Amino acid sequence: MPSYSSLTERIKGKGAAAWDVHKAAAKRAAKGDDIIFLSIGDPDFSTPEPIVEAAVSALRNGDTHYSDIAGRQQLRSAIIERFNADTGLGFTTSNVVALPGTQNSLFAAASCLLETGDEVLAFEPMYVTYEATLGAGGAAVVTMPMAADDGFRPSPSLVAAAITPRTKAIALTTPSNPTGVVARREELEGIAELAIKHDLWVIADEVYASLVFEGEHISIASLPQMADRTVTVSSLSKSHAMTGWRCGWLIGPSELCEHVARLNMPMLYGLPPFIQEGGIVGLAQADEIVHQMRDTYRRRRDLVADGLAQAVDLPILVPDAGMYVMADVRQHGMTSSEFSWMLLDSKGVSALDAEAFGPSAAGWLRLAYTVGEEQLQEACRRIVELTHELASAK
């Protein structure tokens, strides 16, 4: 048989097994079992109706042909206007490319910035696809383990210790998935100082930026001397409950955006026009939509924190942002994988083993509060019940 490209090995990733619990839960739910899913970050909300209507109207009006490779001017204007308002920068539409979601934007950034022999530093725990996405072009992904006992914070000292002559970029996710940690100004300033000193790119994933509950989200691109060396990626997936729409973007230097648009041409040939029309409406109504989403997720976060307060030996990391709570199961004398399977088998709750996001999260579960409040309360009750049963059996 003819051989496959080495790319097929680079895109495998090591975290795929984490989804086995979710897949098993889905099969059981399909058979009629009472399963509560806290294992996936897909908002349970429907996409807001004005966005849907804009896309449907575009389809009915025949807006089904090729579109601008970099994205329609109106969409890119809306994206960059909001980014400039948040950062104080003066970017134009030449600094943004519309792409199918944050994942594709990360892949495009890595493809245009990194190559075989380069190293990209990534804080860990990190989203499970990062290793494959950032390393697809042959670059080595060098992980920087954040300490659980320090709240999984992105310390500049980790970056300083990891930099080598081969380092080309730093990948930064704030707010973080899975931890919900928002990087502080002093942390960002320390990372920026190192990026400038060593002439590095920063690839900033800010997809959860609009879902910050406490503290302040700061784009590292807004710091002095960082606009020309930062690539910021985001989308409407989480903020607007549009995960399946695949409406995202990459913001950075205009020359990089030209490269990304050229990459877009043979791969994707631009976003579908009717999706862009939905995105334009979504951005125009973002203040109202995001406010409602953020309030709902804050309320759910607090519900989970209160609900798990009665658990035995189950400390949690209360997130600053996002849609996940991290729960520490280490005191129960089993791995997080074992606990997640026991939780599914005995209580019908599907939660993700956070070790899939990196070794530093071993012994933790990621609980997604992407279901309704009644289900969340019941899931917390079942988790608490399991911890009491385990404590009684000791």
Asked, for residue 217, whether it belongs to a domain, the answer is yes
Same-domain status, 21 and 73: no
Task: Give residue 9's pLDDT band: very low, low, confident or very high (50, 70, 90).
Answer: confident
Range of the domain at 38: 7-46+288-389
pLDDT digits (tens, 9 = 90+) for 328-341: 999 999 999 999 99
Q: Are residues 231 and 122 in the same domain?
A: yes
Percent of the chain with pLDDT over 90: 91
Query: Is the confidence at residue 17, as pLDDT, over 80?
Result: no
Res. 41 pLDDT band, cuts 50 70 90: confident
The mean pLDDT of the chain is 96
Question: Residue type at 145?
Answer: P
Q: What are phi and psi of 386, to 5 degrees?
A: -65, -40
Closest CA to 38 of 302, 315, 382, 334: 382
What does the alpha-carbon distance between residue 218 and residue 250 come to, in Å, rounded to a whole number? Answer: 17
The residue among 263, 285, 307 that closes a domain is 285
Residues 6+ apart with CB under 8 A from 239: 210, 211, 286, 289, 290, 293
Does 55 have pLDDT greater than 90?
yes
CATH of the domain at 246: 3.40.640.10
Which amino acid is located at 114 in the chain? L
- pLDDT exceeds 90 at position 214: no
Q: Specify the DSSP element, H or E, that contains 87.
A: helix 73-87
Domain membership flag for residue 204:
yes
Q: What is the Cα–Cα distance from 235 to 239, expressed in whole angstroms? A: 8
Q: Is 126 part of any domain?
A: yes
**What is the average per-residue pLDDT within 171-183?**
97
- The total of structural domains in the chain comes to 2
| The pLDDT of residue 11 | 81
pLDDT tens per residue, range 311-326: 999 999 999 999 999 9
Residues 147 and 124 in one domain: yes
Express each pLDDT in 296-309 by its tens digit: 999 999 999 999 99
197 with 124, same domain: the answer is yes
For residue 348, give the CATH number of its domain: 3.90.1150.10
Residues 317 and 255 in one domain: no
Do 141 and 257 belong to one domain? yes
- Residue 57: inside a domain: no
Q: State yes or no: pLDDT of 256 exceeds 90.
A: yes
* Whether 12 and 75 share a structural domain: no
